[in-house]
């Protein structure tokens, strides 16, 4: 876990404890074992897992306030960024949303193996979750990594957070252009762009970005629209 430890220190000023490092090592081992059977992620080399999965997930801490408690991770895949954040911030009440059954089972397995309390895994599409009263406007922050273009992702995330809460979208080098293209969607959904944070991962050429949104008004009840429609007809 040297790449993860060094990256956490240089990027975030964090000294990972032995307990945290052991948790990430177990996570990496389980991910490798499950990947051999179920192909959960294309990133498989040990150092790449440390940097492009674990460390990349932890960069969300650059924007996630210390007071945030109720967090939902939409399209979590194999648990990113939600579970690494939970390892570092055990006080978080973390909900993971994933539509693919094998990935749901993996997230449940990892949460159990790591003894993580306060983790809930929801097997559903983002559009469905956003219309359920138990999830709509129930979270302080919503996070997502490489799930969809920003107009679509904003429609997934903003309905889930309370007014005054926020969203963090992890994006690639095209993030500034995506933000510009999402201005109308943000306005209709009750959100605004708060800031754009550039992140440079060690050994990764292209920059990464955290797009930080703030929810200032209630999202109209029509959003999110039925499954598939946000992608086919993004808000313009």
Q: What is the pLDDT of residues 76-88, one digit of tens each?
A: 999 999 999 999 9
Report the C-alpha gap between 114 and 143 in whole angstroms. 21
State the CB neighbour count (10 A cutoff) for residue 154.
33
Q: Write down the domain spans for the chain.
A: 65-232
CA 19 to CA 24: how far, in whole Å?
9
Tens-digit pLDDT profile for residues 194-207: 999 999 999 888 88
Q: What is the pLDDT of residue 69?
A: 94
Ranges of residues in the chain whose predicted pLDDT is under 70: none
User: What is residue 147's predicted lDDT score, i.e. its pLDDT?
Assistant: 79
CATH of 65-232, one of 3.40.47.10, 2.60.120.260, 3.40.50.150, 3.40.50.2300: 3.40.50.150
Using a 10 angstrom Cβ sphere, with 0-12 exposed, 13-18 middle and 19 or more buried, the burial of residue 86 is buried
| Number of Cβ atoms within 10 Å of the Cβ of 157 | 33
The model's pTM is 0.96
């Amino acid at each position: 876990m040297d790449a993860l430890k060094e990256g956490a220190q240089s990027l975030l000023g964090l000294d990972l404890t032995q307990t945290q490092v052991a948790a990430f090592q177990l996570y990496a081992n389980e991910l490798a074992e499950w990947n051999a059977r179920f192909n959960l992620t294309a990133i498989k080399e040990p150092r790449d897992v440390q940097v492009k999965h674990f460390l990349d997930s932890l960069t969300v801490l650059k924007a996630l306030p210390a007071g945030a408690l109720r967090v939902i991770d939409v399209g979590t895949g194999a648990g990113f960024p939600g579970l690494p954040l939970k390892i570092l911030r055990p006080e978080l009440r973390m909900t993971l949303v994933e539509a693919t059954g094998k990935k749901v089972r993996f997230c449940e397995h990892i949460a159990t193996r790591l003894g993580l309390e306060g983790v809930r895994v929801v097997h559903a599409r983002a559009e469905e979750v956003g219309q359920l009263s138990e999830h709509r406007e129930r979270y302080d922050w919503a996070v997502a990594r490489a799930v969809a273009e920003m107009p679509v992702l904003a429609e997934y995330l903003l309905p889930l957070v309370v007014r005054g809460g926020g969203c963090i979208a992890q994006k690639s080098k095209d993030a500034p252009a995506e933000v510009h293209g999402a201005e109308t969607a943000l306005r209709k959904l009750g959100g605004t762009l708060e800031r754009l944070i550039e992140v440079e991962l060690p050994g990764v050429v292209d920059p990464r970005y955290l797009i930080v949104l703030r929810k200032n008004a209630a999202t109209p009840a029509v959003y999110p629209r039925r499954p598939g429609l946000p992608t086919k007809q993004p808000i313009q």
